[in-house]
Structure 1
Amino acid sequence: MESSGTRQAATEARKAQIAAAAIAVLAERGYAETTFDSICERAGLSSKRLISYHFSTKDQLFEAVVRQVVTDAAASMRPAIEAASGARAQLEAFIRANVAFIAAHPAHVRAVQQIAFNRTPVGGGERDAAIGRLAALFEDGRRTGAFRAFDSVLMAMALRAAIDAVADRVAGGLDPDHCATELVDLFDRATAKTPSPS
């Protein structure tokens, strides 16, 4: 007899399989051609009912896609950020790890762009949480004296927007190290304490 834990694990594995197939189809074919049929074909499922069992609408599926991309990015970035000591080093690690993730996962970037460009109202919770984590990093830096005084939420939004703005070019082949270095320098200058006049 199957335990509830085993069933739950199987359900989560199926949802992840469907989300991965949706990411691939969105990246390759675009929003308009990302249908349950095309996802079913990509995932190797016998029936699109296996998708609608877990996601009753495309919007629900696209929410899962955004969550999957955020989860994958966080797992990829976490070791570098946790290894960094101090707010300035963590900011640099965040930028470099995020740009590296984008370069290594262009399909993830294109999938989220397709969802965003088509104005599907998904990903708000994940976006807000990401801004909140960045704002906390900036607050920590302000509190410890690593950063100057500024609005941490606005700075977090500016950093997120800057990375999102270059994502398409990085996914398309722009040198990620060059891009990350430029962004690190930009936000290092933006957050630096002004030296006191002598």
Structure 2
Amino acid sequence: MTAHQAATAARKEQIARAAITVLAERGYQATTFEAICQEAGLSSKRLITYHFSGKEELFAAVADQIVADAEAYMRPALEGVTDAGDLLATAIRANVAFIADNLPQVRALQQILLNGGQGLWERHHIESQNRLAGLFAKGQGSGAFRPFDPQVMAAVLRASIDSVAPLLSAGHDPGRCAQELVELFGRGTRDEQSTRQEERQ
């Protein structure tokens, strides 16, 4: 990456992060280029329009930034975990922890989605579900998980993780929320023989 490319990437990230803050604190309608410019400490909104043609392009960058933040946050926890059951539990806990520690990003994304931005998030949502489906399919291949439709289970898990955001915003304990999901999906995915053996112990 050249110095110019690095400077451009840094400026775009600065603008995206400022947009996240304004969205989270003031809402969609108040997230104007002027407000973002003020939050980012930029001298002119032309510095925004130079990089982004309009709100849709900027909010697409916001979605990309949130995904990048989530992946960077969760990667250390997931690295080196190979057992399917452990990986499922770790992924659930890491997802819930990211939401709990990054509520402004979640509120910013909600503002975009509530104001017609579903298309900006759809690709990321599908990619996340597909990764979870791959985890389930791999677990089934190793015999750790019972037979079920991996895509259906992935969709339910993704929705369940996302649904804890309002609870976390209201002050619910992230560890307890994560543990409930770990137990729920642990029981829902394990093969019956493993579940019976666990219950006898």
Q: Same fold (TM over 0.5)?
A: yes
Q: Percent identity?
A: 54
Letter in 2 for 1:86: D
Structure 2: how far apart are the matches of 1:166 and 1:114?
17
Gaps in structure 1 of 5+ consecutive residues: none
Structure 2: how far apart are the matches of 1:95 and 1:51?
36
Structure 1: how far apart are the matches of 2:181 and 2:30?
35
Structure 2: how far apart are the matches of 1:83 and 1:104?
23
Q: Tell me the matched-pair count.
A: 195
Structure 1: how far apart are the matches of 2:193 and 2:84?
18
Residues 74 and 171 (structure 1), Cα distance of their counterparts in 2 relative to 1, 3 Å cut: farther
1:191 to 189, 192, 195: 189
Letter in 2 for 1:113: Q
1:26-55 CA-partner distances (Å, limit 9, x unpaired) = 000011111111000000001111111111
2:16 to 19, 23, 43: 19
**Preserved CA contact (<8 Å) 1:18 1:51:** yes
1:59 to 51, 56, 61: 56
Q: Which position in structure 2 is the counterpart of 1:144?
A: 142
1:166 to 164, 178, 182: 164
1:195 counterpart SS class: helix
Q: Which position in structure 1 is the counterpart of 2:69?
A: 72
Q: Which position in structure 1 is the counterpart of 2:199?
A: none
Q: Which position in structure 2 is the counterpart of 1:88?
A: 85
Instruction: List structure 1 runs of 4+ shifted beyond 3 angstroms.
Output: none
Letter in 1 for 2:141: R
> Superposition RMSD on alpha carbons, in Å?
1.6
What is the Cα deviation at residue 168 of structure 1? 2.1
Structure 2: how far apart are the matches of 1:84 and 1:177?
20
Structure 2: how far apart are the matches of 1:49 and 1:126?
29
Structure 1: how far apart are the matches of 2:125 and 2:48?
25
1:173 counterpart SS class: coil
What is the Cα deviation at residue 160 of structure 1? 0.7
**Preserved CA contact (<8 Å) 1:109 1:171:** no
What is the Cα deviation at residue 61 of structure 1? 0.7
